[in-house]
Amino acid sequence: MTIERWSWLGEPLAADFANTVRRRGQEYEEQLEHPQHLVDWARHEGVELERPDAAQLERVRELRDAVFAILLAATSREPPPPGTERLVNAALAAVPLVPQLQGGEVVLTAPGDPPALDELLARVAASLLDLLGDPALAFCDAPSCGQFFLRHRRDQRWCGPACGTRARVARHARR
């Protein structure tokens, strides 16, 4: 069940985080309705979380909405909406991540054993900073998608062939 729920994940962390809302037709549906949904999502990202309480889940959704809005603005080359950067900056400041060399790779470490949820949100925010500079970042505007992805080709408009097909069908239906 959880695998089916999160089958579309696999983009960079900040995109996967923004993609915790999903379109059904043209309306967005919340995929983080219950604390367990956040635990399941985190597990897909390789992070074990304790079950958050309602207030923590609310905070996560707020940051998710901010990340979504910032990514959406970036795909249309607009500045982030007012108030969104504050939430991202708070997540970054809560758990400073230190780049370290390990086996020839740069990895971000979180010294001092911070709470797992705070560390995850800081990593989401750090991933967002990376994504904002990535020319491959794109938004799939197809019905039942509305998600962020990285383009493999410059002219790629949909995240996958299924979305291209759905968008064409919807266009024909409107005519």
Binding residues for Zn ion (CB under 5 A): 140, 142, 145, 159, 163
Q: Measured between alpha carbons, how far is 85 from 28 in angstroms, rounded to an integer?
A: 22
Q: Closest separation between CB of residue 36 and Zn ion, Å?
A: 26
Q: Closest separation between CB of residue 171 and Zn ion, Å?
A: 15
Kindly state the tokens that stand for 35.
């604390």
Q: Closest separation between CB of residue 164 and Zn ion, Å?
A: 8
Nearer to Zn ion, 63 or 142 (CB): 142
Nearer to Zn ion, 91 or 159 (CB): 159
Nearer to Zn ion, 123 or 139 (CB): 139
Q: Closest separation between CB of residue 156 and Zn ion, Å?
A: 11
Nearer to Zn ion, 41 or 158 (CB): 158
Contacts of 136-143 spanning 24+ positions with Cβ under 8 A? 137/15, 137/71, 137/74, 137/75, 138/75, 139/71, 139/72, 139/75, 141/167, 142/166, 142/167, 142/170, 143/23, 143/25, 143/26, 143/167, 143/170
